[in-house]
Structure 1
Amino acid sequence: MKKRQNVTIKGTKEGLVLHLDDTCSYEELKRELDQKLSANSRTQDEKHLIPVKLEVGNRYISEAQQEELKNLIRQKKNFVVDGIVSNVITREYAERLMEENEVMTVSRIIRSGQVLEAPGDLLLIGDVNPGGTVIAGGNIFIMGTLKGIAHAGCFGNDQSVIAASSMKPSQLRISEFLNRAPDITQTTEKREMECAYIDENHQIIVDRLQVLIQLRPNLNRFEGGH
């Protein structure tokens, strides 16, 4: 009877993809992985690093186990870890994802010295006065006047946007990019509902709200219940 393979190696143009069985024991899996990588490394050109991606299916891999598998791969002469993909996530991570994808709606005025924070998108019905600050992990939408500080994508999402009925901020921040007291309009044209976003040159641009339809189509993710 042919022995079942717990580790299947597939070569791609990017490197190696290792499919790891999610029903055997972790120790058995690790042992077979070590054996197959050792055999495979002897057939590779040691001058070139081979990216290795692990696909573990429905197996939960703890952080300690992830480090153990990464170290096992790094011990081979010409392999480098490209990532570990699992279908399973922790409850804490799932809850954080839910928070980051929720829209927090607040109706109030953010006065000088006050800070309003949201883990995901923020919809503020009210003004942000000078000295006030709003911070969000996602997008910021202000149904009022922004005269204080707004920081969208604070966890590193540079696709986040800031929109306000009246855009007169003292500072705009998106991800790690910052723009102090931007020149909102180059003309005397009066605009209603403006937005700020990061362009391809990593600059914060302020423009009319309608440009987001083409620039950020993912803002439609809530349409149709998605």
Structure 2
Amino acid sequence: MSEWNHYVTMKGTNNGIVVYLDDQCSFDFLLKELENKLVNNQTSGATDITIHSQHRYLSEDQRQTLIQLIGQHSELTVKNIESYVLTRESAYELYEHTTVKTVMKTIRSGQVHEVKGDALVIGDVNPGGAVHASGNIFVLGKLRGIAHAGVEGDENCIVAASYMHPNQIRIASKISRAPDYDVQGSPREFAFINPSTEQIELDQLQHIQKIRPKLLDVFERGL
């Protein structure tokens, strides 16, 4: 069963089976068409599917109605419901997590600068100061305090600084501390989690495109 009709279309993709729902007809008419096709096009064996309502907004009641209808008339199981529609709350959350929050100041000892999204600090982060961000951290100055990028668990985030000499760098749950002995800092470096070693490593900023080629693509960051 590859295609039902103009209003309900089932297609196989790299991510599994997706059922596309027409977004122009009424919801009641869509339910009747979907029920008719489920009854007359039975599948064998349990199969997970994703429903895509395209540009149609589905309320929670409508979502539950679709899930119940499919479960009642088939062995298909709805694992996800997607659309091109964003609620105001979802749009605001996306904005919060994908924009760069800029501050022009020195983060002094005892101060903690926290943002959702990427943090851009135009100034120094002194020893005892800290920057926390759900996204990446960029310091146009000396990073000598603490930087914690990806605080919500994103291991693809980075910490970059004009001059890197931190007390501590954290990315998601990984931690890299400064050595007990005194070392010189380094100009124009960034910290990242190497997936091969699962440890935080440093490299020169000119290599950032090779190591994180999709750094600026927010959709590749799981948002």
TM-score normalized by the length of structure 2 = 0.77
- Give the alignment partner of residue 92 of structure 1, picking from 85, 89, 93: 89
Distance 1:11 1:97, change over 3 A: closer
Q: Distance in 1 between matches of 2:109 and 2:14?
A: 55
User: Match of 1:127, SS?
Assistant: coil
Residue 19 of structure 1: how far off its partner (Å): 1.7
Partner residue, 2:186: 191
Q: CA deviation at 1:108?
A: 1.2
The counterpart of 2:160, out of the listed 156, 160, 163, is 163
- The CA deviation at 1:74 is 4.8
Q: Percent identity?
A: 44
Q: Deviations over 1:146-188 (max 9, x none)?
A: 233212123333221101123233332223x2214155xxxx8
What is the CA-CA distance between 1:31 and the residue it aligns to? 4.2
Structure 1 letter corresponding to 2:88: R
Give deviations 1:102-156, integer Å, cap 9, x for gaps. Answer: 2222111222332212222211022222332211222111122223321212333
How far apart, CA to CA, are the structure 2 residues paired with 1:212 and 1:144? 18
CA contact (8 A) 2:96 2:117 kept: yes
State the partner residue of 2:29: 28
Using a 3 Å threshold, how does the CA distance of structure 1 residues 165 and 5 change in structure 2: closer, same or farther?
closer
Q: 1:218 aligns to what SS in structure 2?
A: coil
How far apart are the structure 1 equivalents of 2:101 and 2:56?
34
Deviation of 1:212 after TM superposition, in Å, equals 0.7
Query: How many residue pairs align between the two structures?
Result: 210
Deviation for aligned residue 1:203: 2.0
1:50 aligns with 2:47: yes
AA aligned to 2:210 is Q
| 1:217 corresponds to | 213
Q: 1:35 to 1:11 in 2, by over 3 A?
A: farther
Gaps of 5+ in 1: 222-226
Report the Cα offset of residue 80 of structure 1. Answer: 2.9
Normalised to the residue count of structure 1, the TM-score between the two structures is 0.76
Unaligned runs of 5+ in 2: 218-223
Rounded to whole Å, the distance in 2 between the matches of 1:24 and 1:102 is: 36
Separation of aligned partners in 1, 2:90 and 2:34: 27
Q: Secondary structure at the match of 1:32?
A: helix
Q: Does 1:208 align with 2:209?
A: no
Aligned-pair CA distance for 1:78: 3.6
